[in-house]
């Protein structure tokens, strides 16, 4: 490399890329390492997410994407490294801790219960109740209304909130899972391959939901193998290879071919 | 009861269309079966629909109703409680020994329920914490509870002369005897907890998809512990009615109550794979099985045919549930 590339320096600390000021980063992860026995899944990876943007995380299988995401959502605890959320250092003991700090994750399996209704799934584990003691009853009206409103805000095209999730299509289920993750005043929503199992039309609908989410000011971290989708949706791309975040690009300034080259290592970062 | 929200305005037309679908019959197997039995038996026997016989049937159904409710909670989580009738026997012996020791009705009643809860606790610990398959764990406690009941009673029935028990078994409000009133109160509470509280929703979630439930912060361990405790505790309550009916605490095996409690739940449209909760269905299933036995007896059909008839009804119901809407 002859000219210093403002995006391509391998960062040793959370990078301040381009003209973005530090305060514009909602999340900065620096030097994250994580090993499982002798396997070094993350070897000091650093990445950032900006407010109100969709950040894509790409890389080949085994590059460390999932481990990175699991560190951010509290499933794994990094062996070393620092995570700054809104500029403040945070550690997550468990997924609930991450959720309380405003980081929601849409699991790949969606974590929906098919035999329950849409609204029941929406509030599963954090139901609204009224009354007290053992006779505290579910506030069904409030929960149905809230779930319906949230789905409407995201322009999600789903059957009534009283229908069972079993009757929903794959895309509708994905949309419900995304709306649920977005519905708790969260700052960051992490999505692992949200459209992997979907057809063309359903993918388009789910992408619409993700864009609506960005417009509402939520930062989205998108893990995807689909470069077209990454180019379509994301504002910023991080490329991982062999446990490191090796490159970042503004989506507008890169191409699918370049991303492939970065992933495979054909092009040095 | 769970589908109240689904059926709305054009009711009559909708009902007409529904009747033509096999899923309608599958969803409502228990009430339809009960109505059919009532029509057939009342045509064949003039005694069947007399107030006296209805009252007797309701009292006879109370134990099964209570056991079916306990079983329903367990089956909703995808489990099964094979020890439920042995637990009832164990509770009955507990009541008998406590009463014999002069502790009085109320303390003895508490002993019966605690004895039931104890077996429920063992089931819960084995299944939720020990990760033993529900079928094996409760098969084991079935044998353990039966054995314990035989050991502590020395294999002999304990005769009970208690005025409270006599009131419990013979008292009534109109045609409703105290046993069925007790069962009805338990059914209403069970419905409330299953469909109107966080606990009930979590029971359904764990049964429907345990992995997703846990991912949403629900403790599957606690829920499983709770349903086996409910089942054991209700078996303890049923033990009181059993002692009241027999007039003695017997270390008998009571296998028919185990099979009928599962049969009532299946008749009630609850899927054995879990996730689909029903309370009213199993209650009607229990009434149906009792009416079947009662009707056959009135018609003078040999006792030997009763298990056959119950078996046929259950197998038919199980076949019908295949056509339930998903």
Write down the pLDDT at residue A142: 93
Q: Which chain B residues have a beta carbon less than 8 Å from that of A96?
A: 217
Q: What is the mean pLDDT of residues B28-44?
A: 90
Kindly report the length of chain A. Answer: 269
pLDDT tens column, A177-211: 888 888 877 889 999 888 887 888 888 888 988 99
How confident is residue B10, by pLDDT bands cut at 50, 70 and 90? low
For residue B1, the Cα-to-chain-centroid distance in whole angstroms is: 18
The sign one gets for the Cα dihedral A58, A59, A64, A66 is positive
Q: What is the 3-state secondary structure (H, E, C) of chain A?
A: CCCCCCCCCCCCCCCCCCCCCHHHEEEEEEEEEEEECCEEEEEEEEEEEECCCEEEEEECCCCCHHHHHHHHCCCCCCCEEEEEECCEEECCCCHHHHHHCCEEEECCCCCCCCCCEHHHHHCCCCCCEECCHHHCEECHHHHHHHHHHHHHHCCCCCCCCCCEHHHCCHHHHHHHHHHHHHCCCCCEEEEECCCCCCCHHHHHHHHHHHHHHHHCCCEEEEECCCHHHHHHHCCEEEEEECCEEEEEEEHHHCCHHHHHHHHHCCCCC
* Residue-range domain boundaries for chain B: 58-321
Q: Could you tell me if B205 lies within 8 Å of chain A, comparing CB atoms?
A: yes
Residue A117 has pLDDT above 90, yes or no: yes
How confident is residue B187, by pLDDT bands cut at 50, 70 and 90? very high
Q: Which chain A residues have a beta carbon less than 8 Å from that of B5?
A: 162
Closest residue, chain B, to A105 (C-alpha)? B215
Pairing of strands A188-192, A219-223: parallel
Smallest Cα distance from A154 to chain B, Å:
22
Write down the pLDDT at residue A2: 40
Question: Rounded distance, CA B309 to CA B317, Å?
Answer: 12
pLDDT tens column, A65-94: 989 998 998 888 999 999 999 889 999 888
Mutate which: A94, A115, A180, vs B, most B CBs within 10 A: A115
Question: Rounded distance, CA A76 to CA B194, Å?
Answer: 35
Residue A268 has pLDDT above 90, yes or no: no
How confident is residue A5, by pLDDT bands cut at 50, 70 and 90? very low
pLDDT tens column, B82-101: 999 999 999 999 999 999 99
Q: What percent of chain B has pLDDT over 90?
A: 66
Q: Do B213 and A124 touch (CB under 8 A)?
A: yes
Question: Rounded distance, CA A250 to CA B289, Å?
Answer: 70
Phi first, then psi, for residue A128 (nearest 5°) are -90, 135
Q: What is the mean pLDDT of residues A135-151?
A: 89
Write down the pLDDT at residue B4: 45
Q: What is the mean pLDDT of residues B188-213?
A: 95
Residue B289 has pLDDT above 60, yes or no: yes
Smallest Cα distance from B200 to chain A, Å:
10
Q: At what angle do helices B178-196 and B51-76 cross, to 10 degrees?
A: 30
Tokens of residue B311, six digits: 């078996």
Count contacts between A and B (CB, < 8 Å). 67
Q: Residue B130 gets which letter from DSSP?
A: S
The residue among B71, B120, B89, B58 whose CA lies nearest residue B254 is B89
Q: Do A109 and B218 touch (CB under 8 A)?
A: no
pLDDT tens column, A88-112: 999 988 888 888 888 998 888 888 9
Write down the pLDDT at residue A8: 44
Q: What percent of chain A has pLDDT over 90?
A: 37
Q: Could you tell me if A124 lies within 8 Å of chain B, comparing CB atoms?
A: yes
pLDDT tens column, A220-236: 999 988 888 999 999 99
Question: Rounded distance, CA B301 to CA B305, Å?
Answer: 7
Q: Could you tell me if A127 lies within 8 Å of chain B, comparing CB atoms?
A: yes
Please provide the average confidence, as pLDDT, over all residues in chain B.
90
Nearest CB to A116 within list B6, B205, B217: B205
Write down the pLDDT at residue B326: 57
The residue among A240, A195, A207, A257 whose CA lies nearest residue A54 is A207
Residue A4 has pLDDT above 50, yes or no: no
Q: What is the mean pLDDT of residues B94-117?
A: 95
Q: Do A125 and B275 touch (CB under 8 A)?
A: no
Q: Could you tell me if A125 lies within 8 Å of chain B, comparing CB atoms?
A: yes
Mutate which: B201, B271, B277, vs A, most A CBs within 10 A: B201
Q: Do A136 and B207 touch (CB under 8 A)?
A: no
Closest residue, chain B, to A94 (C-alpha)? B217
pLDDT tens column, B212-236: 998 888 999 999 999 999 999 999 9
Mutate which: B2, B192, B209, vs A, most A CBs within 10 A: B209
Domains present along chain A, CATH in parentheses = 22-264 (3.40.50.300)
Residue B177 has pLDDT above 60, yes or no: yes
Write down the pLDDT at residue B90: 96
Smallest Cα distance from B26 to chain A, Å:
17
Q: Could you tell me if B276 lies within 8 Å of chain A, comparing CB atoms?
A: yes
The sign one gets for the Cα dihedral A147, A148, A154, A159 is positive
CATH 3.20.20 is the classification of domain B58-321? no
Mutate which: B198, B269, B274, vs A, most A CBs within 10 A: B198
The residue among A33, A83, A51, A79 whose CA lies nearest residue A221 is A51
H-helix or E-strand spanning residue B248? strand B248-249
Q: What is the mean pLDDT of residues B177-195?
A: 96
Residue B9 has pLDDT above 70, yes or no: no
Phi first, then psi, for residue A110 (nearest 5°) are 70, -20
Write down the pLDDT at residue A13: 41
How confident is residue A15, by pLDDT bands cut at 50, 70 and 90? very low
How confident is residue B1, by pLDDT bands cut at 50, 70 and 90? very low
């Amino acid at each position: 490399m002859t000219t210093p590339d403002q995006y391509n320096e391998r960062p040793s600390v959370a990078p301040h890329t381009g003209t973005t000021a530090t305060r514009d980063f909602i999340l900065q992860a620096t030097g994250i390492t994580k090993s499982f026995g002798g396997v070094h899944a993350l070897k000091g990876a650093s990445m950032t997410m900006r407010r109100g943007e969709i950040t894509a995380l790409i890389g080949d299988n085994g590059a460390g994407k999932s481990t990175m995401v699991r560190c951010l959502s509290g499933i794994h605890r990094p062996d070393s490294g620092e995570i700054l959320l809104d500029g403040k250092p945070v550690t997550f003991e468990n997924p609930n801790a991450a959720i309380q700090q405003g980081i929601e994750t849409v699991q790949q399996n969606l974590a929906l219960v098919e035999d329950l209704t849409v609204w029941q799934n929406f509030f599963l584990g954090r139901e609204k109740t009224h009354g007290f003691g053992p006779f505290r009853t579910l506030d069904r009206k409030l929960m149905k209304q809230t779930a319906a409103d949230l789905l409407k805000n995201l322009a999600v095209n789903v059957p009534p909130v009283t229908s069972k999730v079993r009757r929903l299509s794959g895309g509708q289920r994905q949309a419900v899972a995304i709306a649920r993750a977005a519905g708790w005043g969260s700052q960051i929503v992490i999505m692992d391959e949200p459209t992997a199992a979907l057809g063309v039309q359903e993918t388009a609908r789910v992408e619409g939901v993700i864009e609506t989410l960005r417009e509402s000011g939520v930062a989205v971290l998108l893990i995807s193998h689909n470069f077209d989708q990454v180019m379509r949706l994301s504002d910023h791309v991080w490329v991982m290879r062999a446990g490191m975040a090796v490159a970042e690009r503004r989506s507008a300034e890169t191409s699918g071919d370049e991303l492939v080259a970065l992933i495979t290592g054909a092009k040095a970062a | 009861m769970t589908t109240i929200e689904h059926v709305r305005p054009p009711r009559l037309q909708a009902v007409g269309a529904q009747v033509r679908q096999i899923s309608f019959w599958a969803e409502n197997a228990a009430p339809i079966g009960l109505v059919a039995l009532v029509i057939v038996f009342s045509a064949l026997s003039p005694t069947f629909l007399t107030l006296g016989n209805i009252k007797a049937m309701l009292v006879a159904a109370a134990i099964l109703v209570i056991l079916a409710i306990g079983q329903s909670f367990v089956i909703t989580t995808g489990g099964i409680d094979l020890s439920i009738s042995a637990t009832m026997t164990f509770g009955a012996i507990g009541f008998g020994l406590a009463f014999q020791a002069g502790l009085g009705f109320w303390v003895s009643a508490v002993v019966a329920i605690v004895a039931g809860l104890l077996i429920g606790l063992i089931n819960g610990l084995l299944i939720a914490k020990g990760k033993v398959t529900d079928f094996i764990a409760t098969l084991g406690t079935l044998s353990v509870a039966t054995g314990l009941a035989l050991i502590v009673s020395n294999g002999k029935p304990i005769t009970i002369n208690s005025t409270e028990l006599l009131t419990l078994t013979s008292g009534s409000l109109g045609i409703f005897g105290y046993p069925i009133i007790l069962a009805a109160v338990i059914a209403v509470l069970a419905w409330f907890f299953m469909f109107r509280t966080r606990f009930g929703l979590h029971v359904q979630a764990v049964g429907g998809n345990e992995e997703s439930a846990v991912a949403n912060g629900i403790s599957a361990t606690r829920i499983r512990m709770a349903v086996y405790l409910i089942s054991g505790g209700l078996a303890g309550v049923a033990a009181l009615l059993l002692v009241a009916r027999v007039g003695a605490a017997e270390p008998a095996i009571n296998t028919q109550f185990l099979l009928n409690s599962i049969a009532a739940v299946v008749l009630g449209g609850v899927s054995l794979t879990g996730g689909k909760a029903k309370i009213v269905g199993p209650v009607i299933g229990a009434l149906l099985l009792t009416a079947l036995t009662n009707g056959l007896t009135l018609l003078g059909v040999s006792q030997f045919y009763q298990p056959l008839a119950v078996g046929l009804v259950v197998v038919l119901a199980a076949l019908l549930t295949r056509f339930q809407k998903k």
